[in-house]
Amino acid sequence: MNAHLLKLSVGLLTLAELLSACGGAPPPPPGVQEETETQTTSVEAVAPEIADTLAPAPIPHWWVATASGDNTARVWDAASGETVAVLQGHTEHVLSAAFSPDGKWVVTSSNDKTARVWEAATGRSVAVLSGHEIQVVDAVFSPDGKLIATSGGDRTVRIWDVATGKAVQVLGTASVGGDEGDPVTTASFSPDSKLVAAGPSYLGPVSVWDVATGTVTAEYRLQGGIWFDGAAFSPNGQFIVIATGWPGQDFVATGRTAYVWEPQTGETITEFAGHSDAVNEAAFSPDGQWVVTASADRTAQVWEAATGKVIAVLSGHAGSVYSAVFSPDGKRIVTASSDNTARVWESATGKMVSVLEGHTSFVFSATFSPDGKFVVTASGDNTARVWDAATGTMLTELRGHEAAVNEAVFSPDQK
């Protein structure tokens, strides 16, 4: 996403998404299908691709962490839908939740100006990360699990030592006067955890900092009056993909574009121009060869990272597409939309694989399980849901929050 922009208002949507969402309505539900008799053909007797559809549905052996506007986060068993732990302590909306790389800890961010670290299995509060002057929009672990980066409405990124809970760097210059209109986008660590990229949402710039020293090593100045929606490192750490956007018909052309930038040289390698509205998010494929963009124009697009060539247009949503995420093997993409659905697509062809239909409000986020077989969605209808990615069958409803679920993510390890 850049989902953090959705989290800053009721329903946690930005003006950009609200304007775009008004343009369409969710598609009508599919007709009721008649039940068919059980087939007697053995799984082994048919082609492998058909056998996959006949085999018993797999069971999601992961936990899920959710963040909610009811001031709590929760950890759930994805298979049973039972609550493992309730993470209580924040005094305002919880905007994000993320597992540590080993799955033992969860970090949350909140409008109460803090982030918190919790023991996933028990919900025990381990550390309160306090220091931001305004809300903490997002919090993420570094790939090595030793650090946490928090993004604040005060225009700063703060780096924290997981072992001690102490701040080790304050990156950027804090805003004054309590202005909450220019939060820093979600911070992205480089794969080696040595660099972090982020920037203020309005006009940027996108900065890359050395985590050890706190110095800026590269800076990308956005052109024109545009909104900066996010920056993410490529899997090899050499490039950064940048998403930009601004709502309405009178924004500059560059406000609906994504770019691949090489921080070491300062060069813009590729420009992805083709969306007709704001680009809400952009991400590399696991092998770094492709980029997927999610747009308020109701589509996602897959591009060749090196050339900007369009590989596929993912068309079918009836509302703004908030996020688009590759599966771990890169073969599929899941999108989340204001049309109350998520959808799974083939990356190479843009063919729709399944529609995840059942939420009664906007779907803010959708992500794959580590094996790519499942998807978890977070919705404004106060629930998260676990789905079979291949069939679109809902497997588990995670019900218990008393306000919108802003984010839902799988644990990295099986439980």
Tell me how far apart the alpha carbons of residues 304 and 347 are, in angstroms, rounded to a whole number.
Answer: 11
How does pLDDT run across 84-143, given as a tens digit for each residue? 999 999 999 999 999 999 999 999 999 999 999 999 999 999 999 999 999 999 999 999
How does pLDDT run across 71-98, given as a tens digit for each residue? 999 999 999 999 999 999 999 999 999 9
Tell me how far apart the alpha carbons of residues 65 and 345 are, in angstroms, rounded to a whole number.
Answer: 24
N- to C-terminal Cα distance for the chain?
A: 27
Domain 3-21+59-414 in this protein, CATH class? mainly beta
Amino acid at 40: T
Q: Is 27 exposed, middle or buried (0-12, 13-18, 19+ CB in 10 A)?
A: middle
Distance of CA 323 to the CA centre of its chain: 6
pTM to 2 decimal places:
0.85
| Percentage above 70 pLDDT, the chain | 80
How does pLDDT run across 225-237, given as a tens digit for each residue? 467 778 999 999 9
Question: Which segments within 165-289 are labelled E, that is strand?
Answer: 167-171, 188-189, 195-198, 206-210, 216-220, 227-233, 240-245, 257-262, 267-273, 279-284
How high is the pLDDT of residue 365?
Answer: 97
Tell me how far apart the alpha carbons of residues 186 and 137 are, in angstroms, rounded to a whole number.
Answer: 7
How high is the pLDDT of residue 315?
Answer: 98
Q: How confident is the model at residue 183 (pLDDT cuts 50, 70, 90)?
A: confident
Amino acid at 150: T
Q: Domain ranges for the chain, please list them.
A: 3-21+59-414
